[in-house]
Structure 1
Amino acid sequence: MATLNDYQVNTLGEGKFVDNLILNNGETATFLYVDDWSRPVYKLKSGTKVCCVNCDGTYLHTISAGSGEPDSPIRDEYQPTNKTSIVEELPSTQDFTFDYMFLDRLRCDLEYYFGFGNRNDKVLHYLDVHNHIAEMKNRLDAFPKDKRPEWLTEDDISNYESRLTA
């Protein structure tokens, strides 16, 4: 099990770690580092470097020699045997930074929708105001009670809903 350096902790989050992968052909892909785009990079037995394009060790691509960008998916025999994430969450920590940012983005979309957006669904991330509000409720409910944002409550979302009929 590889421990992350400071850069990788900043990229993946504190309390996370990355492990080597067992491939369908029985070989081991050895974890090397996390690249600038937060993708774990591995080395195959042949020496070929591969990266996980979905950042969790479940689908590998070759890396182009020049740019270091993902090139093409590798054959199934070189894909990981377990399709579960290799980026594990330790029980003691969980970072909600992305969740806060995304929920605020959804809130901002609604503010614009009711203002300068002229109630046009195309300005919403979910392209439908009812789905958008439902997703906001789901995301707010996903927070533990002690980690919920103070700047958006269930009442605030209900107020957005009531503005639909106004």
Structure 2
Amino acid sequence: MEEKKQTVLTLKFIGIDDFSCPTYEDQYGRFWKDLNLGKSEKPDLYSTTRNDLDGEPVSHIQQEYTFESEPFRRNPYEFQYMMLSRMQRDCEYFLGYGNRSVTILSESDPQHHMNRMKELWKELPADGKPEWLTWEQLLNYEKELCNE
């Protein structure tokens, strides 16, 4: 009896679905979702219901596979960037339409809010500091928020 050799699937990253799953497409047009959400070294790939891009994960990948380029990996500092962005918007609101209402700021305390922003900023690597929020801008926010 002759053994049939399976084709190695080549997976191409095509985006992130509505549930934060990195999604790949193979050379046959089948979709695969990474249930590790791009947070680990090795993706945990599942096919989707009716091969629908928005479908639910169904079956774990059984075939051997490779990636067209490196698999998608989330930035390990994603949380810090998101929080800094949100807290920066809070500063802008506080100084503008918020009419200096402290209820918008963390702990309802401008200095606490600024201390937390500076902590988050310092956690980022030197080559990963946000271009949209410099240390000087942080100090300016602190001056505007904390000195009335």
Normalized against structure 2, the TM-score is what? 0.51
**Structure 2 unaligned regions, length at least 5:** 1-31, 44-73
- What secondary structure sits across from 2:106 in the alignment? coil
Provide closer, same or farther for how the CA distance between residues 145 and 16 of structure 1 changes in structure 2, counting only shifts above 3 A: farther
* 2:127 counterpart residue number: 146
Task: Work out which of the residue numbers 127, 137, 140 in structure 2 matches 1:156.
Answer: 137
Distance 1:121 1:16 in 2: 44
Query: How far 1:16 moved relative to its partner?
Result: 7.1
* 1:15 counterpart residue number: 41
- What secondary structure sits across from 1:9 in the alignment? coil
**Structure 1 unaligned regions, length at least 5:** 18-92
| Structure exhibiting the larger radius of gyration computed from Cα positions | 2
* 2:99 counterpart residue number: 118
Tell me whether 1:165 sits opposite 2:147 in the alignment.
Answer: yes
Pairs within 5 Å for 1:91-102 = 94-102=75-83
Tell me whether 1:135 sits opposite 2:116 in the alignment.
Answer: yes
Count of residue pairs brought into register by the alignment? 88
Q: Which amino acid aligns with 2:39?
A: G
Provide closer, same or farther for how the CA distance between residues 130 and 16 of structure 1 changes in structure 2, counting only shifts above 3 A: farther
Query: How far 1:7 moved relative to its partner?
Result: 2.6
Normalized against structure 1, the TM-score is what? 0.46
- Maintained 8 Å contact 2:84/2:117: yes
Query: How far 1:161 moved relative to its partner?
Result: 1.6
Query: How far 1:100 moved relative to its partner?
Result: 0.7
Q: Which amino acid aligns with 2:34?
A: Y
User: What is the root-mean-square deviation in Å for CA atoms of aligned residues?
Assistant: 2.6
- Maintained 8 Å contact 2:106/2:112: no
Q: Which amino acid aligns with 1:13?
A: K
